[in-house]
Amino acid sequence: MYDQIKLEKGMYHLANRTFTQALEAADPSAQYAGTELAALDAFERQLKRFDIHVSGEHCDTVEKFFTTTESAVLFPEFVRRAILRGMEESILPELTAAVSGVRATACKGFSIDETDGAYSVTTDEGEVMKKTVITESDAVSLPKYARLISASYETIRQQRIDVFAVMLRAVGHKLAGAAAGAALTVLKNSVTPFDSAGTEIAYADLAELYGKFSDYDLTTVIASPANIAKILAMTEMQERTLDSSGQVHLPFGAKLLKDASLDNQTVIGISGDFALACFKGTDVVLESDRLIDCQLDRIAVSIRLGFQPLMAGATAVLNIKTE
């Protein structure tokens, strides 16, 4: 049972296994099916075991993690999850069609050549079928996105856990934002942009962007905050409302996202299921031993990510003319 698991630092250093995976192996969630604990994963059951409340009216302070040597082992995973949640709340997941894990600082991607003939060309009996050729591409680098958080144990020990989690989420959100900027650069450089009709973005330009997609659907439009404001002020957007997830959509269905890394001359449209691949060299990495030992003066957080455009025709870029 979950209250009999021996927690120790070494669970963070197992080969090819995360801390949560180590917990799940020792305390499988499947055995709790149909019980009041069915909705919790192995880590959340350990929080319950040590009566650590990470949110709500009765939220504990950070020092609750350090009540015992075993409960202290849970703290690095809490930090990792808070940072990861912040990353997931960024626009980065909206941009990537697939995420692949690799154990390197660079990896080989692939390219697709479909110039042999259109899919509409039929093949008669005995004729050679048209080919889609997949070949290895140039290496994709996986740079490290990192941040050093400086906060002594005495500084944060009396902070409510949920307040501290917000700070960690903000770090994760900004790390993912930096990676999203790199992803958008990859997308922008993968196609030849088309020019706007005038020097200000107009709804006709957005309609033309939509028309650039023939094989795939335009699902997402990304622009700078200034251009998003101009789009929202358009007459055609007056009847638009937020959906259940808090996102606004253009009249033809594409989600509208803002990203401060884009300049005011660039608007990017993508088919989210086909445009971009993400290669993850590491998951969120922390110095777990230091956190367990209350050495919080230097919380080093890092992740390696690289990006590669996928299918031709799944990205289009609008260039807003300056004159």
The yes-or-no verdict on residue 196 having pLDDT over 80 is yes
Whether residue 73 is contained in a domain is answered as yes
Quick one: pLDDT at residue 232?
Answer: 94
Quick one: pLDDT at residue 283?
Answer: 83
Question: pLDDT per residue over 220-255, tens digit each?
Answer: 999 999 999 999 999 999 887 777 777 899 999 999
pTM: 0.88
The yes-or-no verdict on residue 108 having pLDDT over 90 is no
User: Residue 2 corresponds to which tokens in the numbers above?
Assistant: 């979950």
Domains contained in the chain, number: 1
Whether residue 166 is contained in a domain is answered as yes
Quick one: pLDDT at residue 115?
Answer: 83
Query: Hey, how many other C-beta atoms are within 10 angstroms of the C-beta on 149?
Result: 16
Percent of the chain with pLDDT over 90: 71
Quick one: pLDDT at residue 293?
Answer: 86
Whether residue 173 is contained in a domain is answered as yes
Quick one: pLDDT at residue 58?
Answer: 93
Confidence of residue 107 (pLDDT cuts 50, 70, 90): confident
Whether residue 191 is contained in a domain is answered as no
CA-to-CA separations, 32 to 8, 35, 46, 270, in angstroms, rounded: 23, 5, 14, 42
Q: How far apart are CA 169 and CA 177, in angstroms?
A: 12
Residue span of the structural domain in which 153 resides: 2-89+142-181+282-306
Question: pLDDT per residue over 273-304, tens digit each?
Answer: 999 999 998 888 888 888 888 877 788 899 99
Q: How far apart are CA 109 and CA 69, in angstroms?
A: 44
Quick one: pLDDT at residue 255?
Answer: 94
Please list the alpha-helical segments (H only) found in 50-191. 69-72, 75-88, 92-95, 153-156, 161-189
Q: Which amino acid belongs to residue 173?
A: H
User: Residue 99 corresponds to which tokens in the numbers above?
Assistant: 């995420």
Q: How far apart are CA 131 and CA 272, in angstroms?
A: 25
Whether residue 229 is contained in a domain is answered as no
Mean model confidence pLDDT for the chain: 92
How many residues comprise the chain? Answer: 323
Please list the alpha-helical segments (H only) found in the chain. 19-26, 42-49, 69-72, 75-88, 92-95, 153-156, 161-189, 203-211, 225-232, 288-292
Question: pLDDT per residue over 55-73, tens digit each?
Answer: 999 999 999 999 999 999 9
- Phi and psi at 167, nearest 5°, equal -60, -45
Whether residue 160 is contained in a domain is answered as yes
3-state secondary structure of 41: coil
Q: In this structure, what DSSP letter does residue 242 have?
A: B
Confidence of residue 1 (pLDDT cuts 50, 70, 90): confident
Q: How far apart are CA 287 and CA 213, in angstroms?
A: 45
Whether residue 60 is contained in a domain is answered as yes
CA-to-CA separations, 312 to 88, 189, 212, 275, in angstroms, rounded: 26, 13, 11, 8
Confidence of residue 35 (pLDDT cuts 50, 70, 90): very high
Whether residue 51 is contained in a domain is answered as yes
